[in-house]
Chains A and B, each alone.
Chain A
């Protein structure tokens, strides 16, 4: 199956809702709005011609310089046709919200929890949205660009030796 066929099929089913983003490596990348994302994902999974039954990954990216700061990125894989797709959804900060993909693939459960843990993206309808990797009582979302890498409460590193 070619990416062009896939794109046509998607644009045929969701007129004016799918925008293609050019990708340098032949992986079809589409841009969808948050309201339509579940319909698009469900179509990708259950359409008998496409059959994207394997969800590869869900993650997020923080672009503080853009108007819509957070991008939630889904990678899906159709094993039968051996084609992959990347779906991006841009959301407004500082409390981005998007419907959960656990209604489409059960495997989205922990992937969305990880995205929530790192970026604070609220997945509406998730059965158990709480922190997964960081300590439970952490209040900030550490992968956001404004949060530093090192522990901000550390007292024993002398700034003089670290060039600060």
Chain B
């Protein structure tokens, strides 16, 4: 059987002739896409976990002083918020990040012992903490990382806290979190009489009114009752809080740098390739290849590099996420799950990177005069 030469087969042979250069270029784009998958995937999973945490707790609105996590509001406002007609329950709370050991940090919550937010978690061992006592609850993942169980002692900022119980939450954020009495949190955070936010649960949605409209109306009522205070829908609070936005910015910024390096790698490879193959392009043009055929060939090679680098990068990025989700230092905020849409997006970016990087070399190759290219030594 005579061997058939296809357009793609020809492109593949051109890439294969310089194996090492092709391999190094692949490494570049793989690292770029890998960084994109891991970092952006991480920041999106982080945001998703936040949203899940709000929704699983039944929180409809977060009442904050501003849209910052460092918001600080008088705890006494709980009465005024509770007086708003559509408000069913109000949970004053403090949220922060805490170093429990030099190696392990955790999301830390200050809750009242009677808050409705306990409905969203399950006590696996021990019991709920008591207000006014130096007691804490540990998420199951955090307890496992710290090798602590109910009854053990953990020193936090000079105070020995007793592990009252181990809980299981529905999200990775909760699994790696520590919860303590609000008053204890206020003491160690120097926030006596202050809270970060009030988590508001509304009464059931009135018949004939949409949820969004209801939440929006309740938000306006709370803001009218408390000038200078914002009542933010839970989904918006999850997406727009400072930590999530910082995670998004760092992820996109770092990925963009890695991707630019990868794109420059492909562009360099294709430019070198066109330069080295000047005479061969002249031969193709002498045989009647149109400029667009040459463009297609070079773009096919660049796109193949982008596609292969994209697939490898997805594997590397996913692997990195899985690894991070198992490390004690990061397990509480990293989820190993990656949305299929993110993988598709990564592949599209990889292919687009190939096309972008191949554009100039392809254009240059197509403009070569056949005779000039044939004379090229």
Q: Do A and B come from one complex?
A: no
